[in-house]
């Protein structure tokens, strides 16, 4: 009797553990499915493209159809704000129109992590009711951007961070928004930017507040929303080109990629950036590469903001386009996308609504990782051989 009772009890315990294991596996599977669903569509058939744009008035039907072709889009600050009364409403209206044509396009809501850009109605109401939410400098005056008028949120304060998180959560609850694009991370993480405005201790408090905010963002939104940060940068004040901060995000936006500086040669700076891109892409991170076609505008912050002159569509542009696409292709993996551009404002861009032959030619899957010999990189795809010389800023795209 005792043995039979023991055996029955043992069987019950095994069954319970088995059911528990199955339940655990189902939870994991559900989580994995959710993670896959939030990722953009991807194909090696042609050049995988990204779009990053702003327009303060409503997009036309022609523009919406153009946008709906992209698998991944960031609708920048001011989007639709003049037509719809705020960036929030303008972004939702544009995304709804895009998804009516292509429900698979992933649309990201732009939200700066610290800068109080104008056009956000909810920000205006919050700051009006909470004026101490502004960041103040050592003279007890509002700390401002170099334009002399744009201020900052003081994210060292818990209630300010709570507001930011609630705002983003509210927007991403819309069925037309697939995630968040976060900007100015670098301004927070490098010591010099805020130290010069508010002092060392306050700068450290802002940085600590940022990490707290990003940790909460990931736990609150990360399962269902694509979280992309303007992060990877080959800076000497980052231990690992910003890759050390990607644990909070699904991937990184790239800008200022081929600028050089920081006491190194152009080629050495670029090689370091290429390595960071390659490692992150191979780890499965989403990469949204924004790279300029026109010349850099004067007065930009080197290695922080990428501002470009408008370009002319000519043979010189075609040569530059081959070069930036080669840079992308020696790094790209699944979920890597590229946006060659001459600025994010649709009304001043010469490339807006344009396509190029390089975008339409067959690409095919990569036949291996890129090979490096000094400053020369080569990589083969099914329908394309890439040759890149970053020291002499030249490239060849040899279609088979």
- CATH for 200: 3.20.20.70
Range with the poorest average pLDDT among 28-42, 116-130, 273-287, 327-341: 28-42
Q: Mean pLDDT across the chain, nearest whole number?
A: 89
With respect to residue 296, please indicate whether it lies within any of the assigned structural domains: yes
Domain that holds residue 315: 38-115+155-361
Range with the poorest average pLDDT among 16-30, 290-304, 340-354: 16-30
With respect to residue 353, please indicate whether it lies within any of the assigned structural domains: yes
With respect to residue 286, please indicate whether it lies within any of the assigned structural domains: yes
Summarised one tens digit per residue, pLDDT across range 8-44 is 443 443 334 443 444 344 444 555 556 779 999 999 9
pLDDT of residue 260: 78
Q: What is the mean pLDDT of residues 132-151?
A: 95
Q: What is the mean pLDDT of residues 283-298?
A: 83
With respect to residue 8, please indicate whether it lies within any of the assigned structural domains: no
With respect to residue 292, please indicate whether it lies within any of the assigned structural domains: yes
Give the model's confidence band at 281: pLDDT under 50 very low, under 70 low, under 90 confident, else very high.
very high
Q: What is the mean pLDDT of residues 125-138?
A: 97
Domain count along the chain:
1
Summarised one tens digit per residue, pLDDT across range 157-169 is 999 999 999 999 9
Share of the chain above pLDDT 70, in %: 86
Residue 6, pLDDT above cutoff 50: no
Residue 382, pLDDT above cutoff 50: yes
Residue 308, pLDDT above cutoff 60: no
With respect to residue 290, please indicate whether it lies within any of the assigned structural domains: yes
Q: What is the mean pLDDT of residues 356-373?
A: 97
pLDDT of residue 334: 98
Give the model's confidence band at 301: pLDDT under 50 very low, under 70 low, under 90 confident, else very high.
very low
Give the model's confidence band at 346: pLDDT under 50 very low, under 70 low, under 90 confident, else very high.
very high
With respect to residue 248, please indicate whether it lies within any of the assigned structural domains: yes
With respect to residue 332, please indicate whether it lies within any of the assigned structural domains: yes
Q: What is the mean pLDDT of residues 223-246?
A: 95
Structure tokens belonging to residue 284? 């499965």
Q: What is the mean pLDDT of residues 40-52?
A: 98
Give the model's confidence band at 343: pLDDT under 50 very low, under 70 low, under 90 confident, else very high.
confident
């Amino acid at each position: 009797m005792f043995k039979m009772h023991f055996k029955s009890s043992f069987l019950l315990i095994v069954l319970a553990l088995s059911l528990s294991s199955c339940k655990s596996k189902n939870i994991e599977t559900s989580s994995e499915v959710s993670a896959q669903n939030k990722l953009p569509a991807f194909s090696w058939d042609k050049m995988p493209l990204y779009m990053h744009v702003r327009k303060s008035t409503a997009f036309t039907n022609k523009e919406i159809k153009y946008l709906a072709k992209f698998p991944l889009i960031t609708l920048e600050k001011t989007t639709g704000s003049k037509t719809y009364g705020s960036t929030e409403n303008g972004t939702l209206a544009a995304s709804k129109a895009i998804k009516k044509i292509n429900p698979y396009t992933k649309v990201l809501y732009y939200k700066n992590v610290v800068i109080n850009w104008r056009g956000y109605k909810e920000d205006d109401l919050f700051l009006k009711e909470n004026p101490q939410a502004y960041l103040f400098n050592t003279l007890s005056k509002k700390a401002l951007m170099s334009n002399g008028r744009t201020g900052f949120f003081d994210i060292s304060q818990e209630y300010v961070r709570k507001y930011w998180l609630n705002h983003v959560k509210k927007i991403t609850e819309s069925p037309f928004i697939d995630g968040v694009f976060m900007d100015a991370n670098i301004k927070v993480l490098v010591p010099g930017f805020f130290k010069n405005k508010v002092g060392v201790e306050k700068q450290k408090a802002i940085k600590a507040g940022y990490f707290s905010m990003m940790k909460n963002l990931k736990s609150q939104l990360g399962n269902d929303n694509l979280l992309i940060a303007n992060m990877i940068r080959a800076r000497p004040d980052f231990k690992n080109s910003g890759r050390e901060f990607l644990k909070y995000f699904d991937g990184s936006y790239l800008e200022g990629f081929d600028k050089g500086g920081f006491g190194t040669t152009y080629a050495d700076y670029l090689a370091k950036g290429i390595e960071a891109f390659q490692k992150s892409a191979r780890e499965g991170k989403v990469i949204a590469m924004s790279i300029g076609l026109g010349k850099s505008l004067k007065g930009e912050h080197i290695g922080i903001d990428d501002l470009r002159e408008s370009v002319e569509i000519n043979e010189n542009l075609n040569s530059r386009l081959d070069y930036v696409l080669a840079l992308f292709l020696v790094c790209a993996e699944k979920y890597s996308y590229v946006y060659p551009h001459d600025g994010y404002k649709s009304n001043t861009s010469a490339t807006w609504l344009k396509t190029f032959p390089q975008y339409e030619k067959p690409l095919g899957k990569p036949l291996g990782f890129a090979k490096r010999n000094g400053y020369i990189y080569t990589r083969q795809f099914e329908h394309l051989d890439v040759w890149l010389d970053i020291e002499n800023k030249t490239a060849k795209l040899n279609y088979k």
